[in-house]
Structure formats: structure tokens, C-alpha cells
Amino acid sequence: VPECSGLLAHKAMLASARAVLERTRSALNEALKENPGYSLVITGHSLGAGTAILCTILLNVNPLDSRPAMKCFAFAPPPVVGPLNNPSLRALEIHSFINRADIVPRASLANVFHLGQECMAVDGLELDFLHRFILMRRDPNPENDAEKQALQKVMGTVHDCRQLRKQKDHESFPPLFVPGQVYWIEWLGNSGSVQDTPEATAERTPRIHMASAAEFQSLLLRGGTNALKDHLCGNYKEALDKYKVHLQANNGCFCVVS
């Protein structure tokens, strides 16, 4: 992003943000002129959320005529900027919402590349077909020592890959993040247990955790089909609508600090 020294951004979404502002800047200036003192809320879902974040960044460095206060609400945003410590991000009010196992906020070229590295490293281990099949079942409690050793090999190999990655990132795939304050939506059933299948109960209750952007820098594969279902706009709306009802009924705090 030339306007923000050292800030990297998703190229296509940055182009989209520039196009949006080019088409709307005049109308926004006119509307704010007719309504002095109004602030500006920028929002979107999925790719629209990524574009909204980048519009917020661009408007901060090249503001509208009235320099309105701005807030950005991004729902299911993909990773679009980095690094997180860039000065251009510090003064912005960005609220990013991520629904449970939604894969989009975790899907960046860097994450896919890192996952590929780990898969190739694990594939190179001396494991027979039976142990590979057992590990694919993701049994958290291996039955015998051989299975435990196989699991330890895999976990150790993945750990080594991640330690090496901390020393040097791939130059072609710099890590991008979901910026701002991140709110992670978790679904609980009647018993208080985490519901991995939303269809399991109509009485599920959302809980919202404050999280850091860095916590979403790896692909979450355990979500299965939920990784896609959780991305749907309707599921975000359901979560926030139910949480609003929960707050009104209990006068509780907005979220849990993780």
C-alpha cells in the first residue's frame, strides 16, 4: 500500500477498495456536507469485509472533506493486511467478527503454503499405511504404543516446521492478517458443551470471545463442512441476533476475554 509505508495488502481487494472509493467519494462528501457531525460506518461480509477494512485504511490516510469519525465492522473477513504492528493500523477502529470454524478468515496464501509444508513433511515420515489410516481418523486416544509413537512423530514434525517458520517466512507469501479487535463466535448447546454441528439443537447459544488476530494464522481443518457453512452471512446474523437477545435478558457483558 504506497500510502502506508511498510503495509502489505491483498492486491485484488486493495484494487476493489480503491474502485469503491473512486465511485463513492463524491457522494459521501455530499452526504456528510448535508449532515454535519455525522460519522461513517464501513461494513461488509466476506470479500466485502476485506474491502471494507481496506477502504477504512485508505480513508484514514486520504480522508473525506469533513474528516468524519470512522468505524469498520467486518464480518467473515479474509486476511488482508500485514504486519499487524504497522503504524497505519494503530488508530483505526476495526471490529472483525469470525464465526466458529469459518475458513475464510484463516485462508491466505501464506497459510495454505505453510499447511502444504507441514503435509509434505508428515508425508515423508516412515509410517506404514495402517498407522497413516489410524491417524487420519484423528483418534485423540491411540490404543497402543505404536500408535502413540506415530502420533508423536507427526506432532513433532509439525512442531519443527512451525519453529523453522518462526525464523524465516517465505518471501513470496508474507503473512496477512484480519486486523483490529477480533471477536470469535462460539456456539454452545443446552449443556454448555461446544456444538460442532449447529443442526444438532435449535437451542444453541452463541458466546463471543475477544481474540487476537494472530490466533487466526493457521487453517482450521477440523471444522469439516462447518468450515464453509459457518461462513454464510445468515449464520453470522443468527449468532449476533441471538446474542443480542441474550444480552437483553441477562444484562451481561458483551464478550468473554480469551
Query: Which CATH number belongs to the domain containing residue 76 in this structure?
Result: 3.40.50.1820
Q: Looking at the domain assignment, is residue 137 inside a domain? A: yes
**Same structural domain, 76 and 192:** yes
Structural domain harbouring 160: 109-167
The full DSSP string for 124-155 is: TS---HHHHHHHHTT-SS-SSHHHHHHHHHHH
**Same structural domain, 125 and 86:** no
Q: Looking at the domain assignment, is residue 3 inside a domain? A: no
**Same structural domain, 55 and 125:** no
**Same structural domain, 54 and 89:** yes
pLDDT at 157 exceeding the cut of 80: yes
**Same structural domain, 99 and 113:** no
Do 183 and 209 touch, CB atoms closer than 8 A? Answer: yes
pLDDT in tens, 2-15: 899 999 999 999 99
Nearest Cα residue to 84 out of 8, 13, 10, 11 = 8
The C-alpha atoms of residue 251 and residue 214 are separated, in whole angstroms, by 30
**Same structural domain, 147 and 181:** no
Q: Looking at the domain assignment, is residue 2 inside a domain? A: no
**Same structural domain, 132 and 42:** no
- Domain end point (choices 142, 167, 192): 167
Q: Looking at the domain assignment, is residue 116 inside a domain? A: yes
What percent of the chain shows pLDDT beyond 70?
Answer: 79
pLDDT at 27 exceeding the cut of 70: yes
**Same structural domain, 102 and 148:** no
**Same structural domain, 132 and 205:** no
**Same structural domain, 127 and 249:** no
Cell, residue 46: 466476506
Q: Looking at the domain assignment, is residue 232 inside a domain? A: yes
**Same structural domain, 181 and 83:** yes
As for how many domains the chain has, the answer is 2
pLDDT in tens, 88-119: 998 899 999 999 888 899 888 887 887 888 88
pLDDT of residue 124: 85
pLDDT of residue 137: 64
pLDDT of residue 9: 94
**Same structural domain, 163 and 245:** no
pLDDT in tens, 171-221: 677 888 999 999 998 887 544 444 455 454 456 778 888 887 777 766 665
